Amino acid sequence: MKKIFFLFLFVVVFQYGWAQVPTTEKGKIIFYPAFKSSLIPSVDIAVWIPSNFQASKKYCVLYLQDGAALFDAKITWNQQEWGIDECVDSLIAADKIENVIVVGIYNSGNKRHASYFPQQPFEQLNKQNQAFILNAKRSKDQPLFNAPIYSDNYLKFITKELKPFIDKNYPTLKDPKHTAIGGSSMGGLISLYAICEYPKIFGAAMCLSTHWPGIFESEQNPFPNAYQQYLIKKLPNPNTHQIYFDYGTATLDAIYEPYQLHINEIMHQKGFSSSNFKCNKYEGAEHNEKAWKARLNDPILFLFKKPMQ
């Protein structure tokens, strides 16, 4: 009997991984392990509700990438976290922002890059440049992509499967004005792609330390230009959408400024201004959760600040 149990346990862990359930001191987390999807491999979902949660109220929703890194440093690979729960809860308690629910979408492990890499700009590349991207390495012996790029299906999962589930089971404000998406690094890249592809669902995007190169090679990399051309065509209406960017100047963030400044020019050309677009530079900030936690108040206030009475 013990052998059967451990064999079953091995199969479950091999297929789904250990369900890393986060804990929080502020608010409450409802955890959905291996959330079923017909579009992508199942992923864990952590829904955070604030301390003042009341079923009779209506809540904005913030969908965030890399859900395992958001709430609990004890379950992260580097013992760091965003602290999104403490940040949002304290701002709500201070009456500085609207009521917000956070939906943390765990990444798909070694398929993370394939699910976060913007698909349509990639598909606009010629075959040679596509091969250049797909052959990129994370390190000398480790490929960056462990699956074909499927970010379009990933966004369909969020919009067609996950969001309807959240809206059905939680008291949400369903319109784009009250629905935001965000992430850091590749999570920032896919979040900007999401607001461009689904402007009638997401009214705001927060993109921290956006990994503009897409891969870890700069020389002869065709992707940044392809993504910029895509944004020129597909950025949402600045009259109805908000977009937040930021970046540091240390470790991996040190390479982002030239890309970000070009993106900022495109944003201004497309009609975005200080009321609906912000980009912050943080001197000395590194590319990690500790750095993002330190400045998290800024994007949350920008996207969810209560209007003046």
Q: Which domains does the chain have, with CATH numbers?
A: 22-304 (3.40.50.1820)
Q: Which long-range contacts (CB under 8 A, 24 or more apart) does 249-252 make?
A: 249/281, 249/282, 249/283, 249/284, 249/285, 250/284, 250/285, 250/286, 250/287, 251/286, 251/287, 251/288, 252/185, 252/209, 252/211, 252/286, 252/287
Mean pLDDT within 140-167: 96
- Position 15 pLDDT exceeds 90: no
Supply 170's token pair: 């939680």
- Position 11 pLDDT exceeds 70: no
Question: Looking at residue 59, what DSSP letter applies?
Answer: B
Q: Band of the pLDDT at 78, cuts 50, 70, 90?
A: confident
Q: Band of the pLDDT at 5, cuts 50, 70, 90?
A: very low
Give yes or no for a contact between 93 and 54, defined as CB atoms under 8 angstroms apart: no
- Position 6 pLDDT exceeds 70: no
Supply 281's token pair: 């530079």
- Position 283 pLDDT exceeds 60: yes
Residue 240 has a pLDDT of: 97
Residue 96 has a pLDDT of: 97
What backbone torsions phi and psi does residue 233 show, to the nearest 5 degrees? -85, -35
Q: What is the spatial distance between Cα 221 and Cα 136, in angstroms, rounded to a whole number?
A: 10
Residue 77 has a pLDDT of: 82
Amino acid identity of residue 9, one-letter, is L
Sheet holding 60-64, edge to edge: 28-35, 43-49, 100-105, 60-64, 179-184, 204-208, 242-248, 277-282
Give yes or no for a contact between 89 and 36, defined as CB atoms under 8 angstroms apart: no
Of 15-24, 76-85, 151-160, which range is least confident?
15-24
Mean pLDDT within 134-155: 93
- Position 222 pLDDT exceeds 60: yes
Residue 19 has a pLDDT of: 59
- Position 2 pLDDT exceeds 50: no
- Position 16 pLDDT exceeds 70: no
Residue 75 has a pLDDT of: 85
Place of tokens 């944003």: 267
- Position 195 pLDDT exceeds 80: yes
- Position 92 pLDDT exceeds 90: yes
Q: Where are the beta strands (DSSP E) in 19-116?
A: 28-35, 43-49, 60-64, 100-105
- Helix H, strand E, coil C: the string for 233-279 is HHCCCCCCCEEEEEEECCHHHHHCHHHHHHHHHHHHHCCCCCCCEEE
Residue 4 has a pLDDT of: 32
Residue 219 has a pLDDT of: 86
Mean pLDDT within 207-215: 98
Residue 140 has a pLDDT of: 81
- Position 174 pLDDT exceeds 60: yes
Residue 254 has a pLDDT of: 97
Mean pLDDT within 98-108: 97
Residue 309 has a pLDDT of: 56
Residue 168 has a pLDDT of: 98
pLDDT, tens only, 122-142: 999 999 999 999 999 988 889
